[in-house]
Amino acid sequence: MLRPAAHAILLRWTESRFGCSRRVGDGRVDAFVRGRLTTLRPAAAADVERLVAWHADPDVSRYWDDETFTRAEMEERIVREDVEAWIVEEAGEPVGYLQVHPNGLDMFLIPAARGRGLGPDAARAMTEHLIHERGRERVTVDPYAWNEGAVRAWERAGFVEVSRHEADEEHTASWILMEFRGRS
């Protein structure tokens, strides 16, 4: 349980950062974005070990340039000023990670959660939140061209291909710029 002063700081930070929180009866912060199948909530310190383990799984890290993280690195990553870290949940169970950055979104689901429409649902829910609640005019994603499953999932979420690019300083392989245009 957080001390009252720490709780007040966390509440103000969450409200200013996510723009969608409110207090619930016991004083906890409720900051959720809800899809039809998924709920997204801000990542918290309690998620650090889970995120470290998820990134250590080769079937996750291969989609993130084989990046793995220590606990300390992950603690820093989830509180970055320029990136919002979110946990994707299905029926209250964590099944993935989504990050919001100035240009758009990045996301992965754990292997057991793939192929059930959860990724498109979470992506659409967050994108619609960014557009309708936060006033974003444009939301993009940049999957690798070789990741055909992700490209199809982003398309199901309402993203369309804008352009293709070769590897660069931020991408280790050819990638596709996709922009949200609405439900497909």
Please compute the mean of the pLDDT values over residues 116-137 and round it to a whole number.
95
CATH placement of domain 32-180: 3.40.630.30
Please compute the mean of the pLDDT values over residues 123-148 and round it to a whole number.
95
Please compute the mean of the pLDDT values over residues 69-87 and round it to a whole number.
95
Q: Is the pLDDT of residue 175 over 70?
A: yes
Least confident range from 15-24, 27-36, 45-54, 61-70: namely 15-24
Number of helices and strands (H, E) in the chain?
A: 6, 10
CA distance linking residue 139 with residue 59, whole number of Å = 26
Q: Is the pLDDT of residue 155 over 90?
A: yes
What's the pLDDT score for residue 183?
Answer: 66
What's the pLDDT score for residue 68?
Answer: 95
What's the pLDDT score for residue 182?
Answer: 84
Average pLDDT of the chain is 87
Look up tokens 């320029």; give the residue.
82
- Run of H or E residues at 14: helix 4-18
What's the pLDDT score for residue 23?
Answer: 35
pLDDT more than 90, % of the chain: 80
Question: Sign of dihedral through CA atoms 109, 98, 104, 165?
Answer: negative
